[in-house]
Structure 1
Amino acid sequence: MGEAVMTTRRQADGAIVVDVRGSLDAATVDALRQSLLGTLQRERPAVLVVDLTFVVFMDSLGIGALVSGYNAAREVGCRFVLRNPSEFVHRQLRVTGLSEMFGLPPSTSPQTFTP
């Protein structure tokens, strides 16, 4: 099982960014879910950005944590944005049929994707 590091910061425009690095699997998804849900409850941002630039692996549990964050953001009126998913992560979301829900284009490109 892998390791993941999550850091949270506020951008100048008020959006909160959760930077995720490493692997999202059984050993790490609880920390991601807690980070996303806790940030939404405490901060109530207008926009929550999850930066996936340095995510090297993600299984179905990682996808589930992102879906939980997306649903929780919708409940509080927050826009949930995935930023820079790697080709591997993007492929996982396409295969599961969730890329459209997250507003991802048919293939990855170095930009921010918004639902």
Structure 2
Amino acid sequence: MNGTAVTVETRPDGTLIIHPRGQLDADRAVELRRTIVHAVRRVRPLRLVVDLRNLHDLDAINVGTLAAACQLGDDHQVAVFLDYCCPTIAERLTAAGVPGYRLRHTAPAA
């Protein structure tokens, strides 16, 4: 997906990894939401990982999208995990209702 803020890869074990990068704001919200919904509803991997290591910032719309992705995954028997988010984003996600066990490889707050 050249020129986009979101790329997708599939691992040999069937894990689907979504890589958002840069700053996800309202202009990019639709792209992330469509990618996640397509993955959960159509592809239906056993595990969906959203790798947040290359994300500079996340607005409220996309925080809500990631929180909803966890619930959507539960509805469709897809385990959703959010990896490598910074402490600030982890705090926002937790405040939005994302359970702590879904946040993996998160650096502790300084």
- Range class of TM-score, shorter chain: 0.7 to 0.9
| Structure 2 unaligned regions, length at least 5 | none
TM-score, L = length of structure 2: 0.82
Identity percentage over the alignment? 25
- CA gap 1:102/1:48 in 2 versus in 1, 3 angstroms: farther
Count of aligned pairs between the two proteins: 105
Counterpart of 1:108 in structure 2 is 106
Aligned-residue CA RMSD (Å): 2.4
2:25 corresponds in structure 1 to 25
* Letter of the 2:97 counterpart: L
Q: Is the 8 A contact 1:37 1:69 kept in 2?
A: yes
Q: How does 1:1-115 map to 2 (within 5 A)?
A: 5-94=5-94, 96=95, 98-99=97-98, 101-103=99-101, 104=103, 108-109=106-107
Q: After the TM superposition, which parts of structure 1 deviate over 3 Å for at least 4 consecutive aligned residues?
A: none
**Contact persistence 1:51–1:82 (CA under 8 A):** yes
Q: Deviations over 1:29-76 (max 9, x none)?
A: 111010000111221110000000011011211111102211111111
Residue type at the aligned position of 2:12 = A
Higher strand share: 1
